[in-house]
Chains A and B, each alone.
Chain A
Amino acid sequence: MSVVLEQIFQVGFLAAIIRIATPLAFATLGEMFSERAGVLNLGIEGIMLLSAMTGFTATSLSGSLWLGVLAAMLTGALMGAVHALFTVALGLSQHVCGIGVTLFSSGLAYFLYRLIFGQQSVPPSIKSFETLPIPVLSDIPVLGPAVFNQFSLVYMAMAAVPLAAFVLYRTPWGLSVRMVGENPRAADSAGVGVIATRFQAVILGGALMGLAGAFLSMVQFNAFTFGLVSGRGWVAIALVVFGRWDPWRSAGAALLFAFVDALQLRMQASGLGHIPYEAFLMLPFIFTIVAMAVMSRNAVAPSALLKPFRREER
């Protein structure tokens, strides 16, 4: 155990937490925007995978990393629009459509990847983003190299949290999002376009999920594999609940999950006794379940979550 404790305060460990938390933070914020507007997006897992694929492909073909990021965000936004088309415009079941989006996006990702790259013995890879140390700040001992010597996408995630909180709580659009998620009829009678606002929130959420996917294929793994997302989307859905639909708390939840995940990676590496490594793999998920059970008892979901809005119905 002392080995583990020693490693916690190492630069590498802190940096690992930040890196693991980044895609989760993007995905969690994305899901949060969607749910705050009253739309559960179970398409998140597939959207992340498809965006990871398109981002990787765009970079691999063009050589530009930022073009890849843009492609991933557009893919996410597009799939968000598809989800919104079914659940918001047509008012269909959010559960069923979300699962449908995930299945469709995953299938499409596999299909396009094979179509473009074929079957190769060595999977193609790209030259990934490089770390971008921030002057002065990165010289702070321990914290500096871990937090301020990171990839630009990590900085974007750090900025996204306060930005999301500002947008949600301080701008008229954010108020509209919260209102259509709580009582769409109230928003409607106040002259707010419920359908439009929900579309915008789900599309914005999709773009953020796309960023999460881009981080996975372009920073974390430098390649696209079919198991790339491996449940991170589902975890983000749990983290939104854990974070009580609030940007700061959701980001905190992502960090906490990342901490447990980084910890279990270290524990695997340290080879504690004869415990099979699969046992460590379970840890973050057990943590999620326990955290959800404890914390989400008082969590109140947006009142209109899962409820389609049709003006004529009362």
Chain B
Amino acid sequence: MPAPLIEMRGISKSFGAVMANEAVDLSVAPGEILGLLGENGAGKTTLMNVLFGAYAPDAGEILVQGRPATINSSADALAAGIGMVHQHFHLAPRLSVLENLLIGIPGKSGRIDRAGGRARLNEIGRQHGLTLDPDLPVSALSIGEQQRLEIVKALFRGARLLILDEPTAVLAPTEVDGLFSALRSMAAQGLGIIFISHKLNEVRALTHRCVVLRHGRVTGRVDAPASTTSSEMARLMCGHEIVPPARGPSTPGEAVLTLDGISTSRHSGMALRDVSLSVRAGEILGIAGVAGNGQRALAEVISGIRAPDAGRLTIAGKMVSRFSPREVQALGLGRIPEDRMTTGLVTNLPLADSMVLPRIGTDAFSRNGLLRPDAIRAFAEAQIKAYDIRCPGPMTRAGALSGGNLQKALLARELAFDPKVLIVSQPTRGLDIGAARFIHEKFLDMRARGCGIIVLGEDLEELLMLCDRIAVIYEGRIVGTLDSADATIARLGLMMTGAEGHS
């Protein structure tokens, strides 16, 4: 085995009383792709931030090519040949690809070296199949291209070790293939790669070796990920067996939500064009699609936020006429929005207030124009208990909760009122296996109780596991609907890129 590019020895880091990392050892050899696995809060990101110089470790040392190195800033990390592609891209949308690439690079005789930048960009693009137009503003790039730019940026700075923090979370299935082939090409040329992911099948397909973290400690090392089962890895991550919930057979009833020829104007993002769909009671309908193909408009129309230009929306047999959130809610619609922090709840208010917000005007929570604080608090306390929402109490600031607990709170807030139809966008994005599992079980529960559920998502595995039928949305149209028994990831992936229509 060649000498490691990077070695971390006995790294410990604590924030107050919380041990984020405890005596973690990790090394990456040239040409190796190392998987870093762990649930949310297991300490993966903290560990990588230590390696990238954002945090100073409390104990332990970092060796770069066998020599001890002090990495106190991202500049140090870059100088040591470490590049990082963060989960949230570090790009300036209004500047061009080239300018984003050249930031922090000393110029040539006091000027930005644009010509040199172009040449290097071309060279890197050819080497690894990562081509980009240098003159486009970053805002004109797709998410996949922005990620490509982040990778190129790291290589541009001479990175020999590349850290990717959940790179596939934002990609469509076809883009994932492109990313993987680029990563393999880099590894073949002797670069080391640390790949952080929740998705076990991806880790198994890509990595040569895995390190599993739990509660800040290394709980497992997998030397042959390809021949290790996903459930074995999940056990290492969670400390116990994770069985995916089984979707039993169901007998769907009447349609509880019907869209008939819905079209919207191009107000913001992709418009809907003649969309017809229906969900029956006791059925889960998935809407698969690459982000930005009209999912947002669809969710907004169904939630009563946006009125369509044409078409009819029927909920529980009644036609929606005025399109207001209050109207559709009164008809029995529950909604869990895509972005928990911005449209889901008010992060600066106590959790209890956020949990009653959609129904604040109902008799349950206010009377004669005055709030009923006791009722609000009691409701929140009951839900916190029922859903095992981990927080100090109902008056905690909502923004202080973790993603999984927020999602539970949002779910609790809708399910407490027994919706006839539930619309959910990206239900488990950013959640770890345990929390995702909980959410899935709740959905299947609701399905058994006769609720119709629409799940908008990009994670095809999740949709295949949950849904009875999956419709694919592409450029604002429904290009086909498959029974999940007939659907495969490959086929859905093709339909999502508009290559195949089916109805």
Contact = CB atoms under 8 A, between A and B. Distances in A.
Contacts of A179: 92, 95, 99-100, 103
A303 interface: yes
28 contacts: A170-B111, A170-B112, A171-B110, A171-B111, A174-B112, A175-B95, A175-B99, A175-B103, A175-B112, A179-B95, A179-B99, A179-B100, A179-B103, A182-B92, A183-B90, A183-B92, A183-B93, A185-B88, A186-B92, A189-B74, A189-B86, A190-B78, A190-B103, A190-B157, A192-B104, A300-B94, A303-B92, A311-B54
Nearest to B91: A186
Given A171-B110, A189-B74, A303 B93 contact: yes
Contact of B74 (A172, A174, A190, A312): A190
Give the 5 A-B residue pairs with the shortest CB-CB distance, closest first: A191-B75, A182-B92, A186-B90, A190-B104, A172-B107
A149 to B, nearest CB: 33
Interface residues of B, number: 30
A178 B95 contact: yes
Interface size class, chain A: 20 to 34
Contact of B90 (A171, A189, A300, A311): A189
B111 A186 contact: no
B230 interface: no
A176 interface: yes
B44 to A, nearest CB: 15
A59 to B, nearest CB: 33
B16 interface: no
B365 to A, nearest CB: 33
A187 B106 CA distance: 13
Interface in A161-214: 170-172, 174-176, 178-179, 182-183, 185-192
Nearest to A192: B104
Contacts of A176: 103-104
A178 B153 contact: no
Contacts of A178: 92, 95, 99
Contacts of A190: 74, 78, 90, 103-104, 153, 157
B105 interface: yes
A190 B153 CA distance: 9
Contacts of A311: 54
Chain B facing A: main interface SS: loop
Nearest to A302: B94
Chain A facing B: main interface SS: helix
Nearest to B108: A172
Of the candidates B90, B93, B103, the one having the most CB atoms from chain A within 10 angstroms of its own CB is B103
A311 B84 CA distance: 16
Given A186-B100, A190-B104, A312-B54, 16 more contacts: A170-B112, A172-B105, A174-B112, A176-B103, A182-B94, A185-B88, A186-B91, A186-B103, A188-B90, A189-B84, A189-B90, A190-B157, A191-B79, A300-B94, A303-B92, A311-B54
A192 B104 CA distance: 5
B131 interface: no
Contact of B78 (A187, A191, A300): A191
B102 interface: yes
B497 interface: no
A3 to B, nearest CB: 46
Contacts of A314: 88
Interface of B: 52, 54, 73-75, 78-79, 84, 86, 88-95, 99-100, 102-107, 110-112, 153, 157
B428 to A, nearest CB: 21
Contacts of A186: 89-92, 100, 103
A189 B76 CA distance: 10
A69 to B, nearest CB: 25
A243 to B, nearest CB: 16
Contacts of B78: 190-191
Contacts of A172: 102, 104-107, 111-112
A179 B105 CA distance: 12
B94 A303 contact: yes
Given A183-B91, A186-B91, A175 B102 contact: yes
A232 B84 CA distance: 46
A259 to B, nearest CB: 30
Interface in A270-314: 300, 303, 311-312, 314
A265 B94 CA distance: 40
B307 to A, nearest CB: 25
Interface string A141-175: 00000000000000000000000000000111011
Contacts of B110: 171
Given A179-B92, A303-B94, A187 B111 contact: no
Contacts of B84: 189
A171 B99 CA distance: 11
A292 to B, nearest CB: 21
Contacts of A170: 111-112
A54 B74 CA distance: 42
A172 B103 CA distance: 7
Nearest to B101: A190
Given A171-B111, A190-B74, A191-B75, A182 B104 contact: no
A167 to B, nearest CB: 10
Contacts of B103: 175-176, 179, 186-187, 190, 192
Given A171-B112, A175-B102, A311-B54, A182 B74 contact: no
A90 B30 CA distance: 42
A186 B73 CA distance: 13
Interface string A66-79: 00000000000000
Of the candidates A188, A189, A190, the one having the most CB atoms from chain B within 10 angstroms of its own CB is A189
A191 B103 CA distance: 9
Contacts of B90: 183, 185-186, 188-190
Nearest to A181: B92
